[in-house]
Structure 1
Amino acid sequence: MSVRPLRLVQVGAGAMGVAWLRTIAAADGVELVGVADLDVERAEAAVRSVGCDSAGGSGSRLGGGSVVVAGSLGELLAAVEPDAVVNVTVPAAHSAVNVEALFAGLPVLCEKPAAPTLAEALVQAAAAEATGHLLMISQSRRYFAALTAFRERVAELGPPGLLTTDFYRAPHFGGFREEMPQPLLVDMAIHAFDASRHLLGAEPVSVVCESWNPSWSWFQGDASATATFLFSNGTRYVFTGSWCAEGRDTSWNGEWRAVAAGGTATWDGESRVTSSVRGLEENVAPGAHEQIAGALAEFAEAVRTGSRPDSAIRGNLGSLAMVEAAVRSAETGERVNVAALMEQAYEEALALPVRDEVRERLKSWGAVATVLG
């Protein structure tokens, strides 16, 4: 029996938005029915770039359905009836779009980070609970077959005493990333931080972080950093990276090493996974759905079946907390306790202007520990 495609609308049509449109166009079981962007002409051009015709409102075709182009999510929802929303706006707009979609009765797949601040992310978690709808954050770099293989090799070694990521690239993005105060930690390091939680099956306790901006940097904010996290299982996780490192780039996933009583395992961030156990070395073939295609596939399955993905907003809070704790440590020069930071963010969330339903849900928690279990 055939299953009706999941009808999606996408909000945001910038460079990452175009990447998402192409992914949606190539995916089975989903259909794009609308795209919104404050710049409607940009949205129309984005739709055309994936092989569709757009006439500034409707008539373009993708996946067998008409693609409506509008200036906001509200305009889209007045014109089409989607099953879900894909949010690819800039981080500062994530909260507003996600909350609007959830209260419109729609599950949401949102680009990382969930929000610029942990307090705003907590508001989104409360909105998801209040509405009973899924809000999933696309931690797209979890979706690599080689990462899964590396996780298995790490588990064979016993609890790691040390886990490290080295990340060195030199991208010239232009736009908002080059204007952010902490572009590396906020926009990129969350991928590695999230993967560290995934690999260790544990949560961060505290962090010491230093960030700086090299003299040759084309970023306004700090494009280099080193952060050392203490995890609840005793592992030290060390992230060192730079976005101003010309030459000898690492993978976008970074290069990983885990050291435990049973030996050492490594991952080059691409296909090569090694383990000192039995002298094992693997070249892992790509999976069927990797990166944002993997996030989309998991989201679609969750919407259809009611399953709860690991990157649902509750499960993602720990990764965003690592980012905010690292930034706080870099700014103050002090070790930051993650649990204390979470409780402070909870108090800030209670003070934010939010819908009554969201505020009541926030108050019902009593403490962030209630949310994190």
Structure 2
Amino acid sequence: MSDFATLPAGRPLRVVQVGAGGMGRNWLRTIAASSETELVGVVDLDLETARAALAELAAGPSESGTGTHDVVLGRSVAEVAARAGADAVVNVTVPAAHRAVNEEALFAGLPVLCEKPAAPTVAEALRQAAAARSAGQLLMISQSRRYFAALDALAREVGRLGEIGTVDCGFFKAPHFGGFREEMDHVLLVDMAVHHFDAARRIIGSDPVSVYCEEHNPGWSWYRGAANASAVFEFDGGARLVYTGSWCAPGAETSWNGQWRVSAEHGTALWDGDHAPTVALGEGGEPVEAAVEPRKQEIAGALAEFVDCLRTGRVPQSEAAQNVRSLAMVEAAVASAESGQRVRIDGVLAASLREALAAEDRPAVRAELERLTAGAAVA
């Protein structure tokens, strides 16, 4: 059974969205296009940004356009949600604002679907997971790159290959973002690799134990921080994830999902990140294309799972406490790159729990943090 309140079916989920910037506009279109949701409110510190986003939505194609004259606008999540009669919140603010927005919504009695990452640090993510459990509400993190039909097929086929030896993931892109990303420390690890680390957790089907990581920045890089990283993760059961990535690799670029090879007891699975995976069984086996079952993908897939879990009580694959380990993989990789040492994931989680407990002054949330300390989700 779930530990969060569920909502009855029979009508669309009434949603307030927080954040109306670039990614926020993608979410507005997705919410409007879904028959399972109804946009009833938009929250943004800049109300003109919110109005412009709604005007763009109303002028969009019929499948994503919606009547917006009744959508409530404001700067306060709880206030807008109360005025609009909302059932749930979608949080598309910057990561530094996630905790404040999520906790305001949760303690107003509203479940939240929050864009990744949950927070800038594991400690803040843990505080949010504990707050959600204290409030009795669902907090789900939108790891949108989990929601690909081809990734479903890959995970299914890998599950039939027996014991996993090595999972290789290569990611090579050369985007010129401009702005803050080109000034970030650890830009590849912090800004992108969480998607691939999270996908590896799904493919392998167990949790990471430790990591050794090195970073470097090629001489031609247009990033101030390290744009390249190589990491080896050990997982429960002995499988290894070998990750190699670059933000400044022009020519023959990979998919945004990366390029994958899974070597296992009974064969090998390959995925280019975009098309159907292939599987080769046994010695000398020829690759065979796996069946791919259609589904809602990316943020539409995350939204569909959020709604389904609120209807059924099923715990989503990226429930906040479960998602913490994906963020911990990033922190551990950064710590390894900085120290030159192998870093244990449990050590990162333990230190983050201590930090979270030291910062948290609400007794009910502290009690949930103590339970998370002993729980399988982060133990």
- TM-score, length basis structure 1: 0.92
* Of 299, 303, 313, the match for 1:296: 303
Verify: 1:66 aligned to 2:70, yes or no.
yes
Matched with 2:349 is 342
Give the AA of the match of 1:31: E
Change (3 A) 1:4 1:370: same
Q: Which residue matches 1:213?
A: 217
Deviation at 1:46, TM superposition (A): 1.5
CA contact (8 A) 1:6 1:83 kept: yes
2:326 equivalent to 1:319: yes
In 1, the alpha carbon distance for the partners of 2:291 and 2:251 equals 25
Shift of 1:41: 1.5
With over 3 angstroms needed to count, the CA separation of the structure-2 counterparts of 1:120 and 1:262, relative to structure 1, is same
Query: Amino acid of the residue matched to residue 146 of structure 2?
Result: R
8 Å Cα contact 1:94-1:110 kept in structure 2 = yes
Which of 171, 178, 181 is equivalent to 1:167?
A: 171
Distance 1:288 1:171, change over 3 A: same
Count of aligned residue pairs for this structure pair: 365
The one-letter amino acid of 1:151's match is A
Look up the equivalent residue of 2:288 and give its one-letter code.
Answer: E
Residues 1:35 and 2:42 aligned together: yes
Aligned partners of 2:108, 2:350: CA distance in 1, in Å? 29
Go from structure 1 to structure 2 and tell me whether the alpha carbon gap of 1:284 and 1:252 turns closer, same or farther (over 3 Å shift). farther
Structure 2: how far apart are the matches of 1:228 and 1:269? 20
**Matched residue of 1:105: which SS?**
coil
Taking the aligned partners of 2:374 and 2:258, their CA distance within structure 1 comes to 31
Q: Where does structure 1 differ by over 6 angstroms across 4 or more consecutive aligned residues?
A: none
Give the distance between the partners of 1:350 and 1:52, measured in 2 at CA: 47
Which of 54, 57, 79 aligns to 1:50? It is: 57
Aligned to 2:121: 117
Q: CA 1:23/1:344 → structure 2, altered by over 3 Å: closer, same or farther?
A: same
Q: CA deviation at 1:218?
A: 2.8
Residue of structure 1 in register with 2:237 after alignment: 233
Please give the per-residue CA displacement for 1:195-248, whole angstroms capped at 9, x wherever unaligned.
111111111110001112233333332221111101111011011111111221
Q: TM-score, normalised by structure 2?
A: 0.90
What is the CA–CA distance in structure 2 between the aligned matches of 1:99 and 1:335, rounded to whole Å? 34
Residue of structure 2 aligned with 1:134, choices 134, 138, 152: 138
Counterpart pick for 1:372 among 352, 372, 378:
378
Q: Which residue of 1 aligns with 2:4?
A: none
Structure 1 unaligned regions, length at least 5:
54-60
Q: Is the 8 A contact 1:145 1:284 kept in 2?
A: no
Structure-2 separation of matches of 1:13 and 1:286: 32
1:229 and 1:236 in contact (8 A); partners too = yes
The question of whether the paired residues in 1 share the 8 Å contact of 2:148 and 2:295 is answered with no
Deviations 1:31-72 (A, max 9, x none): 11111122221222112222259xxxxxxx836772122234
Q: CA deviation at 1:272?
A: 3.0
Instruction: Describe the SS at the equivalent of 2:58.
Output: coil
- Distance verdict in 2 for CA 1:4–1:343, change over 3 Å: same
User: How does 1:153-192 map onto structure 2 within 5 Å?
Assistant: 153-192=157-196
| SS of structure 1 residue aligned to 2:268 | strand
Shift in Å, 1:125: 1.0
Identical pairs, percent: 56
**Residue in 1 that maps onto 2:358:** 351
Q: Give the distance between the partners of 1:319 and 1:41, measured in 2 at CA.
A: 35
Q: Retained in 2: the 8 A contact 1:143–1:294? A: yes
1:361 to partner: Cα distance:
2.4
Instruction: Name the SS for the 2:213 alignment partner.
Output: strand
Within the candidate set 186, 191, 198, 1:194 is matched to: 198
Does the 8 A contact of 1:31 with 1:65 survive in 2?
A: no
For residues 354 and 89 of structure 1, what CA distance do their matches in structure 2 show?
25
Q: Kindly indicate whether the alpha-carbon contact (under 8 Å) linking 2:279 and 2:290 is maintained by their aligned counterparts in 1.
A: no
- Structure-1 separation of matches of 2:223 and 2:290: 35
- Counterpart residue identity of residue 217, structure 1: S
2:152 maps to what in 1? 148
Choose which of 71, 94, 102 in structure 2 pairs with 1:90.
94
Q: Is the contact between residue 260 and residue 272 of structure 2 (CA under 8 Å) also seen in structure 1?
A: yes
In structure 2, list runs of 5 or more residues that go unmatched: 1-7
- Change in Cα spacing, 1:227 to 1:49, as seen in structure 2 (3 Å) is same
Q: Determine helix, strand or coil for the equivalent of 1:157.
A: coil
Q: Which residue of 2 aligns with 1:15?
A: 22
d(CA) in 1 for partners of 2:202 and 2:76?
35
Opposite residue 152 of structure 1, the aligned amino acid is R
The answer to whether the Cα contact below 8 Å between 1:342 and 1:368 also exists between their aligned partners in 2 is no
Query: Secondary structure of 1:372's partner?
Result: coil
Q: 2:137 is paired with a residue of what secondary structure?
A: coil
1:56 is aligned to none
Q: What is aligned with 1:246?
A: 250
Structure 1 position 294, deviation (Å)? 0.4
SS at match of 2:70: strand
- Name which of structure 1's ranges 232-241 and 351-360 shifts more when overlaid on structure 2: 351-360
C-alpha contact (below 8 Å) 1:31/1:62 kept by paired residues? no
Q: Assess if the C-alpha contact under 8 Å between 1:31 and 1:64 holds in 2.
A: no
User: Take 1:139 and 1:2, find their aligned partners in 2: how far apart are those partners?
Assistant: 25
Q: 2: CA distance between counterparts of 1:169 and 1:125?
A: 33
For the 8 Å contact 1:31–1:63, the answer to whether it is kept is no
